[in-house]
Chains A and B, each alone.
Chain A
């Protein structure tokens, strides 16, 4: 039993950290630009597809990951210049609609470009082994540990960026009061473009890293978008700390909840316990969000009031 719990805890940590990569971008964009970007998941999908296409071209995993991050970041910056800058001054409703439209456009464009078939990314041999944990009891894939390490590194990097650098100071100033920050001489427009490029790059990182584990397919953006939104709502929109706490909470509840629910259902001899357990775990996450908002209508760590 114990190895199973440890395995699910590590899985939860891995899922949570990947969610954090998306949630960090979402929460920065919302915090500083006051913009709801439903199409954030599409950037994740596009990043994964670019990585898969590059991988098929060059058969080099690392090159595919790095190039996909750069290209998606470029796309994010471009989108900010062309579209998001205009949406920023509009109502939240218009933002929801326009970014919903972007999801449709992105999904169909990917379908046209790559066909409806999912793509796959193969791991290099050096990353595809397993590691023995707890003696011989648990053989955990090396690659998943690597994902955890990358996720932690990015979280630390973002912490340093936001709290210790001049850029981070501008970001925090912009989040707490955009107009005042601009008045005090912070050049806010290039900052927006930077945030968007950063958020898009993080999306691509998550998409490319998860590529070898999941099938790279058209619906993947929406599958992760809703949990990512739940994360930032639970954490408090605009708060980086909230995004990290929320992401880990959601990741853990999803994987440990799945384990618990599946076990519970099996003990009642319910058929199809595994899939049912997964759905129930997703419900638990939605319930958590509802409960958090019930007691704290602005999330756990409100960035501003």
Chain B
């Protein structure tokens, strides 16, 4: 190409968006590391388990955020990948394999393969059809899990013991929390490197204007597929951790309700914001815990809150902070 393309105005391309400052990351890390110690000191050890849950679902929501917020792919089927990871962990445990360094990468790989295969088909469609085909795939795996006796049917699979790491006893809720925190920190670091890389910028640019990216020679299909695959893999990793936390997996993990909840968390936090997944998961689970203590009709409160968010703050809670995000396509 001899003529350089006209440069878009700076504010029009949100390439710098979704990248947090290192200080924010440090503050969040300190906060999360201190959290269980504070809870221990207050004698509220129950909340350490809740903390692990928040971190795990933060991973899942951040995985969805990669596809949805950065890639613009509205998936209503991420429960399939969460479930794939969880079932992988449970199956491996049933076979007697409980080394965390085997179980968790396997959960990642199984879900990533699943995401790669289904993504290759789903990404041929656009818009509403994409939403619906991801939903159909997730339903497919839900029915599969329910109907296969070897996957435990409606009851799912139990985990006899948590995965092990040499030198670390994960049976203890506190050490499990730190294990999850360590894993999450690693994933967030890699995610940060990913979205700030050339690939991440190409992904955001594809979200903003796919036709243009294709015209200037980027392999948009492969970019989206890779992002979708990684997103599925990370969700699978979260699933593997989730099976360890709740000592088993049920088909409920695969329901479309679960996919919806993951979407809700991501949007609640702010899709396309780096900490959107973490913020959303934390707000969601803390609200659920608090409101459920007062009423059994937590879903009513959630529904009304969600309606309010969509109508009043469609860009999520993170949009109230100083970070700017580019105009949505």
B143 to chain A, nearest CB (A): 5
Say yes or no: B304 contacts A92, CB within 8 Å: no
Could you say which of B126, B297, B302, B310 has the most chain A C-beta atoms within 10 Å of its C-beta? Answer: B310
Assess the A36–B129 pair: CB atoms within 8 A. no
CB neighbours of A9 from chain B (8 A): none
C-alpha gap A233/B130 in the complex (Å): 10
Chain B 252-307 residues near chain A, CB threshold 8 A: 256-257, 260, 263-264, 267, 271, 297, 299-300, 302-307
A105 touches B140 (CB 8 A): no
Which chain A residues lie closer than 8 Å to B137 at the CB level?
Answer: 286, 290
- Across the interface, B129 reaches (CB within 8 A) one of A97, A100, A297, namely A297
User: Once bound together, how far apart are the Cα atoms of A103 and B261, in whole Å?
Assistant: 12
A229 at the interface (CB under 8 A from B): yes
Option from A92, A94, A109, A226 in Cβ contact (under 8 Å) with B139:
A226
Proximity string of chain B (199-240) to chain A, C-beta cutoff 8 Å, 1 when within and 0 when not: 000000000000000000000000000000000000000000
Q: B297 and A108: CB pair below 8 A?
A: yes
- A278 to chain B minimum Cβ distance, whole angstroms, is 9
Q: How far is the CA of A1 from the CA of B307 in the complex (A)?
A: 52
CB distance from A166 to the nearest CB of B (A): 29
Asked whether, in the complex, the Cβ of A97 is within 8 Å of the Cβ of B125, the reply is no
If the complex has contacts A100-B306, A108-B297, A298-B129, are A293 and B124 also in contact, measured as CB distance less than 8 A? yes
In angstroms, Cα B132 to Cα A299, docked, is 11
Of B121, B132, B306, B311, the residue contacting A233 (CB under 8 A) is B132
Are B314's CB and A94's CB within 8 A?
yes
Distance A103 CA – B256 CA, assembled complex (angstroms): 12
Contact digits for B131-156, partner A, Cβ 8 Å, 1 yes 0 no? 11101110110011011000000000
- Alpha-carbon separation in the docked complex, A93 to B329 (Å): 12
List the A residue with the shortest CB-CB distance to B268.
A97
Contacting residues, chain A, for B147 (C-beta < 8 A) = 276, 279-280, 283
> Least Cβ distance of B255 to chain A in Å?
9
A105 to B124, CA, bound (A): 34
List residues 208-225 of chain A with CB under 8 A from any CB of chain B.
222
Is B167 part of the binding interface, using a Cβ–Cβ cutoff of 8 Å?
A: no
A74 to chain B, nearest CB (A): 21
Contact B310 A101 (CB under 8 A): yes
Decide: A283 and B144 in contact? CB cutoff 8 A. Answer: yes
A94 and B310 form a contact (CB under 8 A) = yes
Interface contact A104-B131, CB-CB below 8 Å: no
Q: Is B127 an interface residue (CB 8 A)?
A: yes
A282 touches B143 (CB 8 A): yes
B128 touches A100 (CB 8 A): no
Q: Which residues of A contact B129 (CB under 8 A)?
A: 233, 237, 293, 297-299
**In the complex with contacts A96-B74, A290-B121, A101-B306 CB distance below 8 A:** yes
Q: In this complex, what residue of B is CB-closest to A111?
A: B297
Contact A297 B140 (CB under 8 A): no
A120 interface contact, C-beta 8 A: no
Contact A30 B133 (CB under 8 A): no
Establish whether residues A97 and B124, one from each chain, have CB atoms under 8 Å apart when the complex forms: no
A112 contacts B by Cβ under 8 Å: yes
Q: How large is the interface on B (under 10, 10 to 19, 20 to 34, 35 or more residues)?
A: 35 or more
* B121: A residues at CB distance < 8 A: 290, 293-294
Is there a chain A Cβ closer than 8 Å to B328's Cβ?
yes
| CB <8 Å contact, A229 and B264 | no
CA gap between A207 and B121 in the complex, in Å: 34
Give the residues in chain A near B306, CB-CB below 8 Å.
97-98, 100-101, 104
- Closest approach, in angstroms, between the C-beta of A231 and any C-beta of chain B? 11
Instruction: Please indicate which of the listed interface residues B121, B140, B144 has the most CB atoms of chain A within 10 Å of its own CB.
Output: B140
The interface residues of chain B lying within 8 Å CB-to-CB of A103 are: 303
Residues from chain A with Cβ under 8 Å of B314 in the complex: 90-91, 94
Q: Which residues in B have their C-beta under 8 angstroms from that of A226?
A: 135, 139, 256
Closest chain-A Cβ to B273's Cβ sits at a distance in Å of 15
Which of A93, A107, A282 has its CB near the most chain B CB atoms (within 10 A)? A93
A90-B310, A279-B147 known; A105 vs B300 contact (CB < 8 Å): yes
Contact of A92 among B74, B135, B257, B305 (CB under 8 A): B74
Tell whether B63 is near chain A: CB-to-CB under 8 Å: no
Bound: A92/B68 CA distance, A? 12
A101 to B267, CA, bound (A): 13
When C-beta atoms are compared, the residue in chain A nearest to B154 turns out to be: A275
**Contact string, A263-305, partner B, CB cutoff 8 A, digits 1/0?**
0000000000000100110110011011001100111000000
Are the CB atoms of B139 and A282 closer together than 8 Å?
Answer: yes
For the complex, is B249 an interface residue (Cβ under 8 Å from A)? no
In the complex, what distance in Å separates the CA atom of A296 from the CA atom of B263?
Answer: 27
Contact yes or no, A230 B136, CB < 8 A: yes
CB distance from A234 to the nearest CB of B (A): 10
Q: Chain A residues near B267: list those with CB within 8 A.
A: 93, 97
**Interface status of B241 (Cβ within 8 A of chain A):** no
* CB-nearest residue of chain B to A86: B311
B311 adjacent to A283 (CB under 8 Å): no
Structural contact, B300 and A92, CB atoms closer than 8 A: no
Most buried by B among A283, A286, A294: A286
B125 to A297, Cβ gap below 8 A?
A: yes
Name 25 interchain pairs, CB-CB below 8 A, sorted by A. A30-B128, A36-B131, A86-B311, A92-B128, A92-B131, A94-B314, A100-B260, A100-B306, A101-B306, A101-B310, A102-B303, A102-B307, A108-B297, A108-B303, A222-B256, A222-B257, A226-B135, A226-B139, A230-B136, A276-B147, A282-B139, A282-B143, A293-B124, A294-B124, A297-B126
Chain B residues packing against A (C-beta within 8 Å):
68, 74, 76, 121, 124-129, 131-133, 135-137, 139-140, 143-144, 146-147, 256-257, 260, 263-264, 267, 271, 297, 299-300, 302-307, 309-311, 314, 328
Q: Which are the 5 A-B pairs with shortest beta-carbon distances?
A: A104-B303, A101-B306, A108-B300, A105-B303, A279-B147
